[in-house]
Amino acid sequence: MLLLIDSETEKGKKYKVDTINLTCTCPDYIFKNHVCKHIITALDDLPERIQNVIDNVKKDNDKEFFIHKFGENMLDALIERGRISLDGDNVLILKND
């Protein structure tokens, strides 16, 4: 799904977030290739997608499995949101609501 997320710095400007691949069209994402605040905002609008990921972590909390299944951006995004953390090669659920 593609979501349009407002730029915080440039009024009227919107960036396109791909909620499946967790990519964004903003400079932060394109040049630094990391999870930007737009991706985080987009995930906040999709609690069921986050819940699906958390449910998977409950079944298998291996870090490599997580990255294989959901990608490194999702890992970074959920860490940034305080939902999961890493303990060596294990993914820990911090907050589950």
Instruction: Tell me which residues touch Zn ion (CB under 5 A).
Output: 15, 24, 26, 29, 36, 38
Least distance in angstroms from the C-beta of 64 to Zn ion: 26
Is the Cβ of residue 35 or residue 50 nearer to Zn ion in the bound state? 35
28 vs 48: CA distance, rounded Å: 26
Is the Cβ of residue 36 or residue 84 nearer to Zn ion in the bound state? 36
Please name the helix (run of DSSP H) or strand (run of DSSP E) that holds residue 38, with its range, or none: helix 37-44
Strand partners, 6: 14
Least distance in angstroms from the C-beta of 15 to Zn ion: 5
Least distance in angstroms from the C-beta of 42 to Zn ion: 9
Q: Distance of CA 40 to CAs 6, 24, 87, Å? A: 12, 10, 22
Is the Cβ of residue 25 or residue 61 nearer to Zn ion in the bound state? 25
